[in-house]
Amino acid sequence: MRQAAKRTTVITAATSLGFAVVQLDGSILNVALPRIGAALGASVDTLQWTVDAYFLVFAALLLSAGALGDRIGSKRAFIAGFTIFAVASCACGLATTPLALIAFRAMQGVGGALLVPCSLALINHACADDTAARARAIGTWTAAGGVALAVGPVISGLLLSTLGWRSIFLANLPIAGFGIWLAARFAVETDRPAIRRGIDPAGQILAIIFLIALVWAVIEAGSFGLTAPRVIVGFIVAALAACLLLVVERHAKDPAIPLSFFQDTTFSAATFGGFVVSVVLFGLAFGMTLYFQRMLSYTPAEAGLAFVPFAIGITVSNLTGGWLSAKAGARLPIVSGLLLAAAGAMLLTGLGPDTAYLSMLPAQLMVRFGAGLAMPPMTAALLSTVPRARSGSASGLLNAIRQSGAAIGIALYGALMRGNMIEGLRIAVVISAVLFAAAATAAVFGIRARDPGVSLTGREVKAN
């Protein structure tokens, strides 16, 4: 029993490293963008694509990556993802043109797409039917990602001040090496479904078209307005791709998006909540980085250090959320966390061009703490609705929706803040508060109250 617990701890550490580097590279670039733009001669729009190229490829390929992990084994897929991520990070650090950097950032997204769903599947497999252990492990996994997301600007500022912008990518190499060794040495390969599922190329392509068209339209709207022909065309293409995607997935033999999962209200509410949290946290991180440097005249290092309290808040709340979920079930921490985050977002509407950092800190912490409290029980609740052999597909879908939210959040905050930064930021936080409140409402009616000691992962879910 003690040996099994030790193995679970090590597996949790390995998978948490994987999730941490993925989240780190989602936020570490923000502070470095001005320096990279000056070094490579990149425009603001081009710099925005160095961020979103990563998220778009990551989000789109998560759908197939989870199914691939179920098919070949999540341990194999996890190690392959870490390897691809490490090679791409090295290439980013050596890039000499903006186009090359964007391409290698997209390659990082490929590796990240394999890492995230397979890391959750390895945790789910290691914890077997121990729901409380799963909740605690997912709390740790989520905390690692939350810390990485929050400290990305801090690490970026410190590395920029000492080793230059290339070091923010090259720093991933030792982390990846250690994570690969831990997984290869200690992780146990996951169960595979009795029926081998294929890859859905039509669904995958339509998902990519939908995400690229939507994010492109949102970014362009910031420059040209919502009524610009190119923006309207982008939204039309996104809508058509979404409609076709639903039709294709409904009739696909092995769908990239298993629509049958959404028949469970817990699964639906958890995925919507994950989407909302990603929209706000990533969008807010991007927006506040611009605010700190352009409105408050912080240096990159100072802007990075300003995020330290946010990292502490997310870490504490992630661990608290995992513990609460193990003790009392998922609904309470999800609903209370989302409502706290909504209140914090509304308080941020008071931001002005010279707002003191300490006066905005309580509201910023409310958003991070509330969102961090909700995320582990969301993930644990979702995984409890599917059999373990399908956990890769389920976590892939959840994280695809989350990362889509991250890309949309960055594009939305960036577009709103492109003109009048303060006015745009105020509109963005009001939208964020409304989204948090909607997600809390969905959790109240969608997340079923369950005995935290009872595992439902063995229940079969009818496949499409």
Question: How many domains is the chain built from?
Answer: 2
Q: What average pLDDT does the chain have?
A: 79
Give the per-residue SS3 of 59-123: HHHHHHHHHHHHHHCHHHHHHHHHHHHHHHHHHHHHCCCHHHHHHHHHHHHHHHHHHHHHHHHHH
Separation of alpha carbons 61 and 2, rounded Å: 37
What the block records as the tokens of 52 is 């979103």
**Claim to verify: residue 11 and residue 143 sit in the same structural domain:** yes
- Is 425 a domain residue? yes
CATH number, domain of 46, equals: 1.20.1250.20
Separation of alpha carbons 351 and 138, rounded Å: 34
Tell whether the model's pLDDT for residue 463 goes beyond 50: no
Tell whether the model's pLDDT for residue 84 goes beyond 90: yes
Tell whether the model's pLDDT for residue 127 goes beyond 60: yes
Crossing angle of helices 357-383 and 308-328, in 10° steps, is 30
Confidence class for position 389, pLDDT limits 50, 70, 90? low
Separation of alpha carbons 329 and 319, rounded Å: 14
**Among 45, 53, 59, residue whose Cα is nearest residue 230:** 45
**Claim to verify: residue 215 and residue 297 sit in the same structural domain:** no
**Claim to verify: residue 74 and residue 210 sit in the same structural domain:** no
What the block records as the tokens of 403 is 């990362």
**Claim to verify: residue 214 and residue 167 sit in the same structural domain:** no
pLDDT of residue 190: 66
Separation of alpha carbons 420 and 115, rounded Å: 38
- Is 456 a domain residue? no
Separation of alpha carbons 39 and 68, rounded Å: 38
**Claim to verify: residue 343 and residue 397 sit in the same structural domain:** yes
**Claim to verify: residue 327 and residue 234 sit in the same structural domain:** no
For residue 208, the enclosing domain spans 201-251
**Among 263, 249, 259, 261, residue whose Cα is nearest residue 386:** 261
Count CA atoms within 13 Å of residue 117 on its CB side: 37
| Gyration radius of the chain over CA positions | 20
Longest Cα–Cα distance in the chain: 63
pLDDT of residue 341: 93
Confidence class for position 201, pLDDT limits 50, 70, 90? confident
User: Mean pLDDT across the stretch 56-67?
Assistant: 75
User: Mean pLDDT across the stretch 278-296?
Assistant: 84
**Claim to verify: residue 134 and residue 271 sit in the same structural domain:** yes
What the block records as the tokens of 459 is 């229940």
Quick: pLDDT tens for 98-124: 889 889 998 998 898 888 778 877 877
**Claim to verify: residue 217 and residue 358 sit in the same structural domain:** no
- Is 459 a domain residue? no
- Is 193 a domain residue? no
Domain boundary among 251, 269, 288: 251
**Claim to verify: residue 256 and residue 309 sit in the same structural domain:** yes
DSSP reduced 3-state for 354 = coil
Q: Give me the sign of the Cα torsion angle 30, 32, 37, 38.
A: positive
- Is 455 a domain residue? no
- Is 457 a domain residue? no
DSSP result, 217-257: HHHHHHHH-TTSHHHHHHHHHHHHHHHHHHHHHHH-SS-SS
pLDDT of residue 39: 82
Count CB atoms within 10 A of the CB of residue 399: 30
**Claim to verify: residue 305 and residue 206 sit in the same structural domain:** no
User: Mean pLDDT across the stretch 224-241?
Assistant: 87
User: Mean pLDDT across the stretch 363-389?
Assistant: 81
Residue with tokens 């912080």: 298
- Is 133 a domain residue? yes
Least confident of 155-169, 271-285, 314-328: 314-328
**Among 279, 219, 218, 214, residue whose Cα is nearest residue 433:** 279
What the block records as the tokens of 371 is 């969102």
**Claim to verify: residue 122 and residue 238 sit in the same structural domain:** no
- Is 462 a domain residue? no
Quick: pLDDT tens for 432-460: 999 999 999 998 888 875 544 334 333 43
- Helices then strands (H, E): number in the chain? 17, 0
**Claim to verify: residue 246 and residue 259 sit in the same structural domain:** no
DSSP reduced 3-state for 450 = coil
